């Protein structure tokens, strides 16, 4: 067996890792006493952006954001004598990790002890719909740490899927036991996770702070919506149309516009996607008018009406019903503004829920879109 004193050092370092998790992550060094471990790793930190969240410890605690992460049966693997110092029961089974909301740009770091010549384990990744989208293997962070004993404690898995991640499954390194000279050791590892709470912006100007409105694909969708609504033509010839924003199999955003020529009017749209382009994450449509414009006869009203954004802040009653039925946020575009309605919007709370963004900022001149 590995010497008991070395196991105690490992356990103490793991406790230090948990205690310091609210600051920069600290790397435990279970091999610091070995001659081939040439670098003192304690105190080194993983290079992450200041906006990233961190989930660490067992049970894992999350720092830097409101997302919570749960790991079942535990956020570690261990065997035999090592488990007591790792703070849990013997654990060989794959770890199922679940996030309270979809997260982005995930990095999983494995810390502890395992064999360099074995398999380092992997992370299966599931999108916001629960579909597996990636199976990615850990790689060694410090290959030069292996040395004569063929043991290391540091591996990392940088997930390539760019979309929202709802769940992961971590598979353990193998083999479980290994020999170092005349001693036998066992796998003992825990995991730190680093991720973004929201999708990072893909535009570099005119930022609004809205997660989807700061995506280039969303702005392209809204610009196409306005152009396709014939908003600058005669009022009777203008047309609403429905658009959806999707997350495709790679995690990228894509959008589609859908007309129903036989039913769409300047004041209503009925098109639906024949084939989904991925997982729907938002809906949208244009109101091809400015506040105060007179609505044309083709809108179907029996009396003269004007385009009025006062009651619901931009959305109509049927728009709000669509938000409730689709369980998707909705972006409405008129001549002056973009209105964002989150999931949970009702007729009673629409005016307090809506977020309004000017299409042209009067101070900066920024255009969105």
Handedness of CA 134, 25, 188, 153 (dihedral sign): positive
Name which of 9-13, 62-66, 224-228 the model is least confident about: 9-13
For residue 31, what pLDDT band results from cuts at 50, 70 and 90?
very low
* pLDDT one-digit tens code per residue, 328-348: 999 999 999 999 999 999 999
Tally helices (H) and strands (E) across the chain.
5, 19
- The answer on pLDDT for 253 being more than 70 is yes
Residues 264 and 138 in one domain: no
For the segment 72-89, the average pLDDT, to the nearest whole number, is: 77
Residues 177 and 224 in one domain: no
Task: State residue 274's pLDDT score.
Answer: 83
Whether residues 187 and 278 share a domain: the answer is no
3-state secondary structure of 255: strand
Domain for residue 88, yes or no? Answer: yes
Q: Is residue 368 assigned to a domain?
A: no
**Judgement on whether residues 348 and 260 belong to the same structural domain of the protein:** yes
Whether 206 maps to a domain, the answer reads no
Task: Answer whether 221's CB lies under 8 Å from 244's CB.
Answer: no
Residue 315 belongs to some domain of the structure: yes
* Same structural domain, 74 and 177: yes
Instruction: Give backbone dihedrals phi and psi of 210, rounded to 5 degrees, phi first.
Output: -85, 125
Task: Say if residue 3's pLDDT is above 90.
Answer: no
Domain boundary at 168, 196, 224, which?
Answer: 196
Residues 141 and 221 in one domain: no
Count of beta carbons in the 10 Å neighbourhood of residue 316: 16
Domain count, the chain: 2
Other beta carbons within 10 Å of 306: 10
| pLDDT at 21 (0 to 100) | 31
Tell whether the model's pLDDT for residue 176 goes beyond 50.
Answer: yes
Which pair of tokens denotes residue 271? 């098109």
Question: In the block, which residue shows the tokens 């019903």?
Answer: 321
The Cα 30–Cα 7 span in angstroms is: 8
* Residue 205 belongs to a domain: no
User: 220 and 155 in one domain?
Assistant: no
Q: Does position 16 have pLDDT exceeding 50, yes or no?
A: no
Structural domain boundaries enclosing 84: 4-196
Kindly state the average pLDDT of the residues 268-276.
91
pLDDT at 87 over 90: no
User: Does pLDDT of 45 surpass 60?
Assistant: no
Minimal CA–CA distance to 170: which of 86, 91, 236?
91
Find where tokens 């004569």 sit: 148
């Amino acid at each position: 067996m590995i010497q008991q004193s070395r196991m105690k050092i490992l356990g103490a370092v793991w406790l230090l890792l948990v205690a310091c998790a609210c600051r920069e992550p600290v790397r435990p060094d279970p091999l610091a006493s070995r001659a081939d471990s040439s670098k003192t790793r304690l105190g080194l930190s993983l290079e992450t952006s200041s906006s990233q969240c961190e989930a660490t410890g067992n049970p894992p605690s999350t720092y830097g954001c409101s997302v919570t992460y749960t790991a079942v049966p535990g956020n570690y693997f261990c065997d035999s004598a090592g488990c007591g110092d790792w703070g849990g029961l013997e654990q060989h089974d794959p770890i199922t990790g679940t996030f309270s909301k979809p997260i982005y740009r995930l990095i999983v770091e494995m810390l502890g002890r395992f064999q360099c010549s074995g398999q380092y384990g992997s992370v299966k990744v599931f999108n916001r719909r629960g579909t597996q989208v990636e199976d990615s293997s850990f790689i060694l962070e410090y290959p030069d740490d292996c040395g004569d004993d063929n043991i290391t404690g540091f591996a990392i898995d940088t997930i390539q899927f760019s979309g929202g991640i709802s769940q992961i499954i971590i598979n353990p390194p193998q083999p479980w036991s290994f020999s170092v000279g005349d001693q036998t050791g066992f796998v003992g590892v825990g995991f730190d996770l680093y991720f973004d709470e929201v999708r990072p912006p893909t535009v570099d100007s005119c930022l609004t702070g809205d997660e989807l409105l700061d995506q280039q694909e969303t702005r392209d969708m809204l610009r196409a919506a306005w152009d396709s609504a014939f908003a600058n033509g005669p009022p009777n010839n203008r047309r609403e149309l429905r658009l959806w924003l999707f997350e495709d199999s790679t995690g990228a955003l894509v959008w589609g516009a859908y007309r129903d020529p036989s039913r769409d009017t300047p004041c209503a749209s009925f098109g639906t996607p024949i084939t989904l382009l991925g997982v729907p994450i938002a809906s949208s449509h244009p109101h091809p008018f400015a506040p105060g414009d007179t609505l044309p006869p083709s809108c179907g009203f029996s009396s003269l009406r004007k385009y009025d954004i006062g009651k619901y802040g931009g959305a109509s009653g049927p728009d709000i019903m669509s938000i409730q039925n689709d369980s998707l946020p909705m972006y409405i575009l008129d001549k002056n503004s973009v209105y964002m309605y989150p999931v949970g919007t009702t007729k009673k709370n629409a005016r307090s829920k809506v977020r309004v963004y000017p299409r042209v900022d009067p101070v900066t001149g920024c255009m969105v879109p």
